[in-house]
Amino acid sequence: MQSDAQSLLRLHPAASGLSEDEIREIAARTTVKAFATDEAAIRAGGMPESLSLVIGGRFRMESPDGPSGARIANYGPGDQLGLMPLLHDEASPVDVIADEPSMTLEIQPRTLFRLMRQYPLMAKNLLRGSTFGMNDRAVRHRLHPRPRTITFLHTCTPTRGVVDRIVRRLEQLGETVGIISDDPHRSSGPRTLVHRDPIDEKAEGQVRAQLADWNSLDRIVFDVDLHCNDIRWQQLAHLYSYSQQIYLMVTPDSALGETQALVKVMKQASAWKHKLDVIWVLPPPVQVAPAISPIYELANHDYKVGEPPESGLDHAIERVVHALRGVRIGIALGGGAARGMSHYGVLDVFEKANLVIDEVAGTSVGAMLGVTYCSGYDIQYGIDCFTADLKLPRLYRGIRGGSKWYLVRKFRSNSWDAMLRNYLQDWRLEQLPIPIQTVGVDLVRGEEVIRKSGDSVDAILESINLPYLSAPICRDGQALVDGGMLNVIPADALVRSGCNYVIAVNVSTKVQPLFAGNTPQTPTERMKTPNVLQVWARLLDVQSRNLSQMGAASADFTISPDVAKVDIGAFEQTPEIARRGAEAASKCLRDLQQQLNQIDHRLFPLPT
């Protein structure tokens, strides 16, 4: 049991930086405890019996005075329970209850205080973890600043209608918006001032008076044309100085010429760059933005907006509105070979519930599925394509472990590239409608590699490049292999990129207690010796489970589809695997909606 506690303690941030001898000595003073669903770890009004280091599962914090079932926060692997009440010798004001079967390492209070004195680094880790565990959600969930004065700079007429769509959505959310525009097709009204050139010096008095009248409005929108000449740029400079957010509105046709002019100006006024985002307006049937590198280097973020949907929520516009309201929702799609096809089911549930994702991060199969999803392909189309393209050939059906041998062949024959380029062509990550990050591992430096730009197929191939099945991809001084070797669920990447709420999808939470025909109850004389391929697949399962617990620790909400029994090569079962993902997401959707509702109750209203 001590060796179990030692290996579990290594997974927890409390052991960060400790030597193996220190970890062994601390682990000897802990006990492993299992919690059943709805079993209390801490009860309000009582003192915690011990410090609980959460290793697996999930706990919820509830106020005894609040409505039944209303949670304050969630805790998962990497978190800790009970430190503050123990340090302050005060009763806990809240209940902490297991949401699912969970596991902790328990340290009794007297032992805890002795260990904290004996190992200062452990004490530092615990105190930092307590601050982060209790307050990081509050800090991270603070909304980003909401710009009040917004400027939309149009490079052509077709981009004008997008502003109307954004303003309508803000007004649906209860905001009051005033518009100052040079669009001759607009009509002046109580909250609209139309002027031939509202940023010209001659209009300054009228504009100032209008702004004074609109002092109580939530937003002021300048909706103006971008004329690229020296006089115009001087006028725009004045507007930039008090705009809190600037959007350059471009189409594929208008982008190149205007971008070159804008780059020149931004070099002279670098202080404005932090305010600038780009909105691409893509006419049908254009699926991705063009590969014009200066525009991606110029902007902090860019958004791709197409034609409005015939009905329902406009997801592309919603991403812009999220940003204007200070919200950025990310989803981390974990690795797990064919089990990762359950991500499609989760995403499908989110789409039907109008839960709009602003950014995606994916590892291994999470990268492969994530990139195709972020490219704009319909979920059902993706399911159908993966099912057909990765259907197990007849030759492998009669072979023991045939699906795994088929994966070996896919890697050894380098056939992933052609399959993926059939859909992704030579698109780059930065061109895709939804931002995505992919995770690989560089064996030269021994560290993870996060891709936010570059060839999308190359990014996938790096992230799915399983060692032992394929040689490292060597380019630009790097030797790249599967991102799951270090970071199975890249929730931390989304936190670093500014997401203030992160959802993780973990397809590696469980390992089926059956290996090569052996179970924990198999007598020694009846046990079967596994072959090399079985050992490789099992090691991948075990490693993924342990690393996924660490990766999910940075997430605010974790969804864990029941896919432990799915063979890692069973891609032809994608429809059924996706269904399991949808089941898992549906079961916890209400809890997720309640948490998002606490961040912004207008953006995320609770369904009636």
Written as six digits, the tokens of 63 are 């106020």
364 included as an active-site residue: yes
Q: How far apart are CA 557 and CA 215, in angstroms?
A: 39
Q: E strands, 390-520, where?
A: 436-442, 447-451, 473-475, 478-482, 501-505
CA distances from 495 to 105, 200, 330, 365, 498 (A): 27, 42, 8, 21, 5
Nearest in space to 494 (alpha carbons), one of 424, 445, 556: 556
Nearest in space to 228 (alpha carbons), one of 268, 260, 192: 260
Whether the bond between 285 and the residue before it is cis, its omega within 30 degrees of 0, is yes
Q: How far apart are CA 388 and CA 410, in angstroms?
A: 15
Q: Is 436 left (phi over 0), alpha (psi -120 to 50) or beta?
A: beta
CB atoms within 10 A of CB 357: 22
**Which helix or strand (DSSP H or E) is residue 208 part of?**
helix 204-213
**Cβ pair 106, 50 in contact under 8 A:** yes
Beta partners for 478?
Answer: 475
In this structure, the strands spanning 149-154 and 219-225 are: parallel
Q: How far apart are CA 324 and CA 318, in angstroms?
A: 10
**Which helix or strand (DSSP H or E) is residue 340 part of?**
none
**Cβ pair 5, 30 in contact under 8 A:** yes
* Three-state DSSP class for residue 31: strand
Q: Is 158 left (phi over 0), alpha (psi -120 to 50) or beta?
A: alpha
**Cβ pair 332, 339 in contact under 8 A:** no
From 50, 52, 130, 364, active-site residue: 364
* Three-state DSSP class for residue 401: coil
476 included as an active-site residue: no
**Cβ pair 460, 408 in contact under 8 A:** no
Residue 347 CB-density burial (10 A; 0-12 exposed, 13-18 middle, 19+ buried): buried
Q: E strands, 355-464, where?
A: 359-363, 436-442, 447-451
Nearest in space to 42 (alpha carbons), one of 128, 110, 132, 102: 102
From 79, 95, 482, 556, active-site residue: 482
CA distances from 123 to 14, 25, 87 (A): 8, 15, 12
CB atoms within 10 A of CB 278: 23
Written as six digits, the tokens of 568 are 């890692």
**Cβ pair 375, 433 in contact under 8 A:** yes
- Residue numbers annotated as active site: 364, 482
